[in-house]
C-alpha cells in the first residue's frame, strides 16, 4: 500500500504534471504555429481590447443574452467551474503535500468550505448528466466520450471527499483519488477539456472580429 | 422524433448533388477530405471541432432549429456533428450518401448568418465550418445545381446573371432615358475617371430590378454627387462563388471589382442594398486576395444614405406615412454594425417605425442568405418552412400595425417575399432606396 502511495505521489505525479503542463504548452504553441501558416486572419484581426471585452462577457454569468436566457445553467456552470478550480488549488491537504515537497505554500481554505465546493462540483456533474439525458438538443450531441469525461471529472472529487471523511475503504479511496486526479490532469490537454486553455482564444478571436471589424457585439 | 424522416435527398432531388454524386467513389472522397484536412484546414477549424463541449447552447440561436420543432439535427452543433466533425473523426472515410447529405446540410440548412457565434460560449463559428464543408463539396463536384450555375456565370462573365457586356450598358442607358422624363438633365455617368465614388450593384439589378438603378440615379443626381458606374465587367459586386466554396473564383471576381474601381480612380465604392455582396467585399473576398480591409474604401447603401440624410444632401419632403418595421440583414448588421445607422435612416424617412424582436445584432436571418435562396426552386419550401420564427416576427410586427417591411438587402427581399407569401402575412417589402426616392425633395419640387 505504501509503495503504491509513494509511486502515485512520486514518479507518477511528476509524469502527470509534466504531461499536463507540457501538453498545454505543446497544444498552444503548435496551434499558434498552424494559425501563423494557415489562419493569418487570427493574428491580423486580433484585438486585445475586444478579445478581453468578449471574454469577460462570457465568463460572468448573466452578462450575455444566452446566459440570461438560461439562468439555472448559468449559475450551475459558474459555480461548477469556480469550485472545480478553487477546491484543489486552495486545499489544505494539497498545499501540505506541495509544502513538504517543495517548501512553498499559499493560502488555503477551511476544510468545511472545501467540502462544500467538492459537493457543488459533484452536484453540478449530476446536473450535467441529467441535462445530457433529458434535453434532446444536448442528447443528440452527446457521445460516450462526454459521459466518460464527466465521470473522470467527478472521480477525484468523489474519491477525495471519501478519503477526507474517512468513509469505509478510505485508504483505497486515497489511492484512487490521487490516481484519478492524475488521469484528469493528463487528459485535459488532449480532449474537449482543452476548452480550458482554448477558450480565451476562440472567444477572443470572435470578440476581436465582432468588435474591431464588424462593429457589433457578440454576447 | 429522431426516427421521423426529414427533408432528405429521397424527397428533394437536386441534379447538381445527385449527378455529381454518381461520379464519386469512397476513395475519391477520402482522398479529397484528407487533402483538405491536411492542407487548407487550419487552426480555427481544428480548434472549433476539438473545443466544442457538446453543450447545445447554440441551438436556440438558429432559426432552422427553432422552426423545425427544435429538431436537434438542425442545431448549429448538430449540423457540425453530421458533417465536418464526422469527417475529421473518420479521417475522410465516409460514404457517398454521407457526402450528399453533408452537401445538403451545409448548403441548404445554414445561412452562414453567424448568429450562433453569439450564442456559443466559445464563439465557435459554425458558419466558418459549414463553408469548409461547402468547399469540400465544391472539390467533389456535389454543389447544388442552381447556385453552381450562378457560380459558372461568375466564371464566364464576371457577373451573376449571365448579363452580356452590351446588355449591361443598355440597361443603364435605358434607365437613364426613363429617369430623364422625370429629371431632364439626369445622368448615369459611365466610366467617369476620378469621380468621387463608383456605384456598384449586383447582377440581378439590371436583370430584374432595374428600377433600383433608376431610383439611385435620381437620388444621386438630386444630391448633386460626382459619381460613376463602370461600363466593363467588374461592375457586379455580388459573389456566389464565395458561397459555393470556390475560393479561387471568389478572389478573381473581387479582384475584377476592385481593379475596376482603381482604374476609374474613384475615392470609394458605394454599394447598392445587398448584404452578401458587402460580405464579399468587406469580409471574405478581400481576405482571399490578401487585403486586411478592402483596398478601395467601400460603403454599403445604408451608410451612404445615412451620410446623405444626416448632412442634408437630400431632404425629406413628406415622410412615408405607413408604419414600417425593419429587417436587419445579418451581413451588414452582424457583419458591419450598421444597425443604428439603419434606424437613423428609417426614422428620418418614415413616420412610424415598429421594431421586430429580437433585433439589431440578435435579429434572425431571413433564411435566404448564405446562398440558400440561390440553391433554387427544389429547396424553396424547405427554406421557407425553415424560418417560421421570421414569419412569427413579421406577424407580431403586423399585429402592432406595421404595414411595410424595410429590408435593405436583395437576398432578404427574396427570402422575406416567400415567407410573407407562403404564410399569407400580407406585408409590403421595400428597400430604403424605394422609400427615399418616394419621399425626398426633388429639384422640380424645390
Ligand atoms: C497529484 C495529484 C493529487 C494528489 C497527490 C492529491 C492528494 C490529495 C490528498 C492527500 C487529499 C486529502 C485526502 C484526505 O484528507 O485523506 C486530497 C483531497 C482532495 N483532492 Fe486531491 N490530490 C491530487 C489531485 C487532485 C485533483 C486533480 C483534484 C481536482 C481536480 C483534486 C481534488 C481534491 C478534493 C476536492 C479533495 C478534498 C475533498 C474534501 O475535502 O471534501 N485532487 N487530495
Ligand atoms: C479555466 C477555464 C475554463 C473555462 C473558461 C471553461 C468554460 C466552460 C464553458 C463556457 C462551458 C460551456 C458549457 C456550460 O456552460 O456548461 C464549459 C463546460 C464544461 N467544462 Fe469548462 N471551462 C474551464 C475549465 C474547465 C476545467 C479545468 C474542467 C475540468 C477539469 C472543465 C470541465 C467542464 C465540463 C465537464 C463541461 C461540460 C459540462 C457538460 O457535460 O455539459 N472546465 N466550460
Ligand atoms: S443558419 Fe446561422 S445560426 Fe444557423 S447554424 Fe448557420 S450560421 Fe448558425
Ligand atoms: S454552444 Fe458551442 S460548444 Fe456548445 S455545442 Fe454549440 S458549438 Fe459546441
Ligand atoms: S439574406 Fe439578408 S438576412 Fe439573410 S443572410 Fe443575407 S443579409 Fe442575412
Q: Which domains does chain A have, with CATH numbers?
A: 2-213 (1.20.950)
Smallest-distance ligand from the CA of B280: 5
Domain of B125: which CATH number?
1.10.1060
Grid coordinates given for B13: 432531388
What is the domain count for chain B?
3
Q: Atom 19, ligand 1: which residue's CA is nearest?
A: A160
Domain of B394: which CATH number?
3.40.50
B107 lines ligand 5 (CB under 6 A): no
Cβ of A192 within 8 Å of Cβ of B53? The answer is yes
Residues of A in contact with B78 (CB under 8 A): 137, 140-141
Answer yes or no: are the C-beta atoms of B187 and B176 closer than 8 Å: yes
Residues B238 and B331 in one domain: no
Answer yes or no: are the C-beta atoms of A131 and A138 closer than 8 Å: yes
Residues of B in contact with A205 (CB under 8 A): 44, 123
Output the CA A199–ligand 5 centroid distance in Å.
29
Residues B112 and B38 in one domain: yes
Question: For residue B6, what pLDDT is reported?
Answer: 55
Least Cα distance to B58 among B118, B123, B119, B105 occurs for B119
Q: Which of B246, B267, B299 is the last residue of a domain?
A: B299
Cβ of B117 within 8 Å of Cβ of A41? The answer is no
Residues B323 and B295 in one domain: no
Instruction: Tell me the nearest-neighbour CA distance from A203 into chain B, angstroms.
Output: 5
Residue B2 lies in a domain: no
* Burial (CB count within 10 angstroms: exposed 0-12, middle 13-18, buried 19+), residue B298: buried
B118 lines ligand 2 (CB under 6 A): no
Say which DSSP state B364 is in.
Answer: P
Mutate to test the pocket of ligand 3, among B48, B56, B61 (most ligand atoms within 8 A of CB): B61
Residue B304 lies in a domain: no
Cβ of B53 within 8 Å of Cβ of A195? The answer is yes
Residues B129 and B90 in one domain: yes
Cross-strand bridge partners of residue B38: none
Which residues between 27 and 66 in chain A have a beta carbon less than 8 angstroms from any beta carbon of chain B?
Answer: 31-32, 34-35, 37-39, 41-42, 44-45, 54, 58, 64-66
A87 lines ligand 2 (CB under 6 A): no
Q: Which of B267, B299, B331 is the last residue of a domain?
A: B299
B300 lines ligand 5 (CB under 6 A): no
CB atoms within 10 A of CB A165: 10
Output the CA A124–ligand 1 centroid distance in Å.
18
CA distance A154 to A126: 9
Residues B373 and B425 in one domain: yes
Residue B420 lies in a domain: yes
Determine what percent of chain A is predicted with pLDDT higher than 70: 100
Cross-strand bridge partners of residue B236: B201
Grid coordinates given for B399: 399585429
Helices marked H in chain A: 2-9, 11-38, 40-45, 48-59, 65-69, 71-89, 92-102, 111-134, 136-141, 144-164, 170-187, 195-208
- DSSP helix/strand/coil, B431: coil
Residues B254 and B199 in one domain: yes
Say which DSSP state B282 is in.
Answer: I
Question: For residue A1, what pLDDT is reported?
Answer: 73
Residue B4 lies in a domain: no
Q: Which candidate from B56, B125, B335 shows the least CB-CB separation from A141?
A: B56
Q: Atom 32, ligand 1: which residue's CA is nearest?
A: A88
Smallest-distance ligand from the CA of B107: 3
For every one of its 446 residues, what pLDDT tens digit does chain B have, with 9 covering 90 and above?
444 545 544 579 999 999 999 999 999 999 999 999 999 999 999 999 999 999 999 999 999 999 999 999 999 999 999 999 999 999 999 999 999 999 999 999 999 999 999 999 999 999 999 999 999 999 999 999 999 999 999 999 999 999 999 999 999 999 999 999 999 999 999 999 999 999 999 999 999 899 999 999 999 999 999 999 999 999 999 999 999 999 999 999 999 999 999 999 999 999 999 999 999 999 999 999 999 999 999 999 999 999 999 999 999 999 999 999 999 999 999 999 999 999 999 999 999 999 999 999 999 999 999 999 999 999 999 999 999 999 999 999 999 999 999 999 999 999 999 999 999 999 999 999 999 999 999 887 54
Residue B148 lies in a domain: no
* Burial readout A22-41 (b: 16 or more C-beta within 10 A, e: otherwise): ebbeebeeebeebbeebbeb
Residue B132 lies in a domain: yes
Residues B78 and B190 in one domain: no
- Whether ipTM > 0.90 holds is yes
CA distance A70 to A73: 6
Mean pLDDT of A62-81: 97
Say which DSSP state B121 is in.
Answer: T
* Burial (CB count within 10 angstroms: exposed 0-12, middle 13-18, buried 19+), residue A200: middle
CA distance B395 to A49: 40
- What would you measure as the largest C-alpha separation in chain B, in angstroms? 71
Question: For residue B11, what pLDDT is reported?
Answer: 76
Question: For residue B3, what pLDDT is reported?
Answer: 45
A72 touches chain B (CB under 8 A): no
Answer yes or no: are the C-beta atoms of B222 and B443 closer than 8 Å: yes
Residue B370 lies in a domain: yes
Residue position matching grid coordinates 441551438: B59
Residues B322 and B419 in one domain: yes
Residue B293 lies in a domain: yes
Q: Which candidate from A35, A69, A219 shows the least CB-CB separation from B43?
A: A35
Residues B410 and B282 in one domain: no
Cβ of A70 within 8 Å of Cβ of B57? The answer is yes
Cross-strand bridge partners of residue B354: B325
Cβ of A66 within 8 Å of Cβ of B61? The answer is yes
Question: What does pTM read for this prediction?
Answer: 0.94
Residues B108 and B191 in one domain: no
Residues B269 and B342 in one domain: no
Output the CA B61–ligand 3 centroid distance in Å.
7
Category of B54 on φ-ψ map: left (φ > 0), alpha (ψ -120 to 50) or beta: left
CA distance B368 to B412: 6
Residues B265 and B364 in one domain: no
Q: How far is CA B285 from CA A209, B237, B392, in A?
A: 16, 10, 34
Domain that holds residue B292: 159-299
Instruction: Tell me the nearest-neighbour CA distance from A90 into chain B, angstroms.
Output: 27
Positive or negative torsion for Cα A20, A22, A24, A27: negative
Question: For residue B2, what pLDDT is reported?
Answer: 46
Amino acid at each position: 500500500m505504501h509503495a503504491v502511495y509513494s509511486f502515485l505521489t512520486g514518479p507518477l505525479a511528476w509524469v502527470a504534471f509534466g504531461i499536463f503542463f507540457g501538453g498545454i504548452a505543446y497544444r498552444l504553441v503548435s496551434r499558434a504555429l498552424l494559425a501563423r501558416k494557415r489562419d493569418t486572419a487570427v493574428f491580423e484581426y486580433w484585438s486585445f481590447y475586444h478579445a478581453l471585452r468578449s471574454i469577460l462577457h462570457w465568463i460572468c454569468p448573466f452578462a450575455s443574452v444566452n446566459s440570461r436566457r438560461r439562468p439555472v445553467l448559468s449559475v450551475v456552470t459558474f459555480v461548477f467551474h469556480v469550485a472545480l478550480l478553487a477546491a484543489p488549488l486552495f486545499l489544505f491537504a494539497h498545499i501540505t503535500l506541495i509544502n513538504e515537497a517543495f517548501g512553498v505554500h499559499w493560502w488555503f481554505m477551511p476544510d468545511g468550505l472545501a467540502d462544500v465546493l467538492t459537493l457543488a462540483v459533484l452536484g453540478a456533474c449530476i446536473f450535467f448528466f441529467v441535462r445530457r439525458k433529458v434535453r434532446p438538443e444536448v442528447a443528440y450531441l452527446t457521445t460516450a466520450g462526454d459521459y466518460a469525461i464527466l465521470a473522470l471529472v467527478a472521480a477525484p472529487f468523489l474519491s477525495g471527499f471519501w478519503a477526507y471523511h474517512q468513509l469505509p475503504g478510505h485508504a483505497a479511496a486515497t489511492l484512487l483519488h490521487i490516481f484519478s486526479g492524475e488521469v484528469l490532469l493528463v487528459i485535459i490537454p488532449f480532449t474537449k477539456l482543452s476548452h480550458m486553455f482554448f477558450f480565451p482564444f476562440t472567444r477572443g478571436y470572435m470578440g476581436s472580429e465582432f468588435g474591431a471589424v464588424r462593429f457589433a457585439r457578440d454576447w | 422524433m429522431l426516427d421521423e424522416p426529414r427533408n432528405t435527398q429521397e424527397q428533394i432531388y437536386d441534379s447538381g448533388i445527385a449527378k455529381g454524386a454518381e461520379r464519386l467513389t469512397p476513395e475519391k472522397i477520402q482522398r479529397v477530405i484528407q487533402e483538405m484536412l491536411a492542407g487548407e484546414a487550419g487552426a480555427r477549424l481544428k480548434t472549433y471541432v476539438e473545443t466544442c463541449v457538446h453543450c447545445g447552447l447554440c441551438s436556440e440561436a438558429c432559426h432552422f432549429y427553432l422552426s423545425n420543432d427544435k429538431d436537434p439535427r438542425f442545431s448549429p452543433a448538430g449540423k457540425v456533428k453530421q458533417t465536418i466533425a464526422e469527417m475529421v473523426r473518420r479521417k475522410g472515410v465516409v460514404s457517398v450518401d454521407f457526402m450528399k447529405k453533408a452537401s445538403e446540410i451545409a448548403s441548404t440548412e445554414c445561412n452562414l448568418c453567424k448568429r450562433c457565434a453569439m450564442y456559443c460560449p466559445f464563439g465557435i463559428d459554425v458558419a466558418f465550418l459549414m463553408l469548409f464543408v461547402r468547399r469540400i463539396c465544391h472539390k467533389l463536384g456535389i454543389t447544388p445545381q442552381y447556385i453552381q450555375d450562378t457560380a459558372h456565370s461568375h466564371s464566364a462573365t464576371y457577373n451573376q446573371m449571365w448579363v452580356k457586356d452590351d446588355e449591361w450598358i443598355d440597361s443603364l442607358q435605358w434607365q437613364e432615358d426613363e429617369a430623364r422624363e422625370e429629371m431632364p438633365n439626369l445622368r448615369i455617368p459611365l466610366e467617369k475617371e476620378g469621380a468621387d465614388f463608383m456605384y456598384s450593384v449586383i447582377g440581378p439589378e439590371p436583370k430584374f430590378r432595374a428600377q433600383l438603378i433608376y431610383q439611385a440615379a435620381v437620388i444621386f443626381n438630386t444630391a448633386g454627387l460626382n459619381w460613376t458606374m463602370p461600363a466593363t465587367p467588374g461592375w457586379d459586386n455580388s459573389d456566389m462563388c464565395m458561397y459555393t466554396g470556390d475560393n479561387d473564383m471568389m478572389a478573381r471576381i473581387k479582384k475584377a471589382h476592385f481593379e475596376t474601381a482603381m482604374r476609374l480612380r474613384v475615392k470609394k465604392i458605394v454599394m447598392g442594398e445587398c448584404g452578401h455582396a458587402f460580405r464579399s467585399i468587406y469580409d471574405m473576398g478581400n481576405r482571399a486576395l490578401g487585403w486586411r480591409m478592402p483596398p478601395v474604401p467601400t460603403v454599403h447603401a445604408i451608410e451612404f444614405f445615412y451620410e446623405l440624410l444626416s448632412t442634408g444632401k437630400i431632404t425629406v419632403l413628406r415622410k412615408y406615412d405607413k408604419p414600417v418595421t425593419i429587417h436587419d440583414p445579418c451581413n451588414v448588421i452582424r457583419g458591419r454594425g450598421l444597425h443604428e445607422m439603419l434606424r437613423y435612416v428609417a426614422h428620418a424617412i418614415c413616420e412610424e417605425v415598429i421594431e421586430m424582436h429580437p433585433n439589431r445584432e440578435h435579429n434572425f436571418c431571413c433564411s435566404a442568405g448564405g446562398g440558400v435562396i440561390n440553391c433554387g426552386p427544389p429547396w424553396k419550401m424547405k427554406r421557407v418552412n425553415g424560418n417560421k420564427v421570421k414569419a412569427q416576427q413579421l406577424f407580431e410586427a403586423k399585429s402592432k400595425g406595421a404595414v411595410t417591411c424595410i429590408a435593405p438587402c436583395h437576398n432578404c427581399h427574396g427570402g422575406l417575399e416567400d415567407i410573407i407569401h407562403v404564410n399569407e402575412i400580407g406585408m409590403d417589402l421595400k428597400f430604403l432606396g424605394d422609400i427615399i426616392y418616394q419621399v425626398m425633395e426633388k429639384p422640380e419640387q424645390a
